Amino acid sequence: MKSTKFKIGDRVQYNHRFLKSIMANKYIADMKGTVNDIIYMVSSKKWLVRVLWDGEGEAAGCLESNLCKIGLDVTE
């Protein structure tokens, strides 16, 4: 099992590749949050990262591949 690039407490945002793929608006592109849980999904062999987005009340699950640490987007 490959390990995740995130750890609980990391500050994250969506990466540029994902934002382009969904034609995201500025609101989504500007979202920043904190990782509060990391789950390995055995059936798909992917990591689900639960992020508490700034200004939101509940954490939301995002695929690891759609996120980057703030200031470190290596998908370009």
Burial of 10 (0-12, 13-18, 19+ CB in 10 A): buried
The tally of domains found in the chain comes to 1
In the predicted model, is pLDDT for residue 7 greater than 80?
yes
Cβ neighbours of residue 11 under 8 Å, at least 6 residues apart?
Answer: 32, 33, 34, 69, 70
pLDDT tens digit string along 12-66? 999 999 999 999 999 999 999 999 999 999 999 999 999 999 988 888 999 999 9
In the predicted model, is pLDDT for residue 73 greater than 70?
no
How far apart CA 69 and CA 15 sit, in angstroms, is: 9
pLDDT value of residue 30? 93
Query: What separation in angstroms does the CA of 31 have from each of 2, 19, 42?
Result: 27, 11, 28
**Per-residue pLDDT band at 9 (split at 50, 70, 90):** very high
**Is residue 18 in some structural domain?**
yes
With beta carbons less than 8 A apart as the criterion, state whether 71 and 10 touch: no
**Is residue 1 in some structural domain?**
no
**Is residue 74 in some structural domain?**
no
> Domain containing 38: what range?
11-69
